[in-house]
Each structure stands twice: as C-alpha cells, then as structure tokens.
Amino acid sequence: MTGCPPLQRVALGLAAGAFLLLSMGACSSKKSTTVSAGDAASTVTAVFSLPADQQSCLEQHFGDDEAARRVFTGQEVASASDLRALGQVEAACIPAATLAASITAGVSDAFAGQLTAEQSSCLTNGVTALGDDDRNKLLIGLVVSNSGALDAAGIAELGQVTNGLLELCHLDIATTQTRPATGDTTPSG
C-alpha cells in the first residue's frame, strides 16, 4: 500500500476486502449539491452487499433525510451532523448481524479465504458485540472514508475500531497474514 497516507492505511486496516468494497460506489467522483435517495441507498447497498429489502429501507430513510444524502455530494468533508444523519439512516436499516456478516465476508476475501473458523467467528462476534458508537463508526466510515467526506479524526476513529477487531481476532492486515495468539505470523497463502 505504498503511496497511501499512514493514517488512511490504519483506518482501512480491517476494511481491506469488504473494504475493497469502499471503492465500489462510495468513491463516486460526482460533484453535485444533491444526491437522490436511490443513489445514496445504492451506494450503501453496494458497500455492504445488502438485500433488496434493506436497500428499500435505506431509500425510504434517505428520502426523509437530506442531511444523510449530503454526505455523498463529494463536495468536501461532511459536517458532523450530516455524518450522524448518515449513521442513523444506516443503523435503522442494517442490523448488527448483517454488518458483521458483511465485514467477515470481506475480510475473508481479503485474506484469500484463509481465515480460520475461529477467526471468522471472532470477527462476527466482535462486530456484533460493538457498542452503538463503534458500530456507527464502521457503518459511516466504511461507506465514506475514501470519498473525502470523513476528516482525519474520523478516519483515526475508524482505524481504532478496525484495528481493535484485527487485534482481537489475531489478524495482521498489513501483511495479509493471520497471527496465532503467540504473535508469530504465518503466511496466508
């Protein structure tokens, strides 16, 4: 990951694969003052690979909340109130179990399917067990961290959550390796 600022590398640690999904839709180069509810819902749906009923829920909630849609205009760093609105829309439509499954699948892809059953379970349980604040950091950050809408402090907070999950589950994303509890690294493939 040469060329990436160290802070962004940290923030995107856990994001590596599901997390490759950040580049799908979330990095839209559109520069406008408005984004439709459908486009906002499609972006979030693509990032988390959501089913149609959750996309419909997102579209309805985005339709009711212009502040949440403003995050996707690509104009500048989003305001704290707009990011909160985005998090509220996402939290209303994306249950913790769905977020956990999406993240676990993405990380598994990033590790070329080399996660152990224990590590997969750890990630799923770790994400599900997060408090609302940390879960919202993931919901918001994984959608907008590459778009410029998240400031350095927001990226750092996302990094703290993702790095905590990586450490908890003995994963080293910098080398795409799994780590036994001893701290040694074993190549993933």
Share of the chain above pLDDT 90, in %: 57
Measured in residues, the chain has a length of 189
Strand ranges (E), the chain: 171-172, 177-178, 186-187
* pTM for the whole structure: 0.74
The verdict on residue 180 lying in a domain is no
- pLDDT reading at 40 higher than 80: yes
Considering only residues 114 and 65, tell me which one the structure prediction assigns the higher pLDDT: 65
Q: What is the pLDDT of residue 86?
A: 96
Do 127 and 96 form a contact (C-beta atoms < 8 A)?
yes
Least confident piece of the model among 2-11, 29-38, 122-131: 2-11
Q: What is the pLDDT of residue 95?
A: 95
Q: What is the pLDDT of residue 113?
A: 81
The verdict on residue 37 lying in a domain is yes
Task: List b or e across 84-95, with b for residues whose CB sees 16 or more CB atoms inside 10 angstroms.
Answer: ebbbbbbbebbe
Compute, in degrees rounded to 10, the torsion defined by CA atoms 3, 76, 139, 67: -170
- pLDDT reading at 188 higher than 50: no
| Mean pLDDT across the chain | 79
Q: Which domain holds residue 108?
A: 6-70+77-172
The verdict on residue 82 lying in a domain is yes
Q: How far apart are CA 76 and CA 167, in angstroms?
A: 32
pLDDT (tens digit, 9 = 90+) per residue, 130-180?
A: 999 999 999 999 998 878 888 899 999 999 999 999 999 988 877 555 545
Looking at the structure of the chain, the number of domains it has is 1
Q: How far apart are CA 99 and CA 127, in angstroms?
A: 7
Give the pLDDT band (50/70/90) at residue 7. Answer: very low
Q: What is the pLDDT of residue 17?
A: 37
Reduce the DSSP state of residue 19 to 3 states and report it.
coil
The verdict on residue 114 lying in a domain is yes
Give the pLDDT band (50/70/90) at residue 29. Answer: very low
- pLDDT reading at 11 higher than 60: no
The verdict on residue 134 lying in a domain is yes
- pLDDT reading at 54 higher than 60: yes
The verdict on residue 24 lying in a domain is yes
The verdict on residue 90 lying in a domain is yes
The verdict on residue 98 lying in a domain is yes
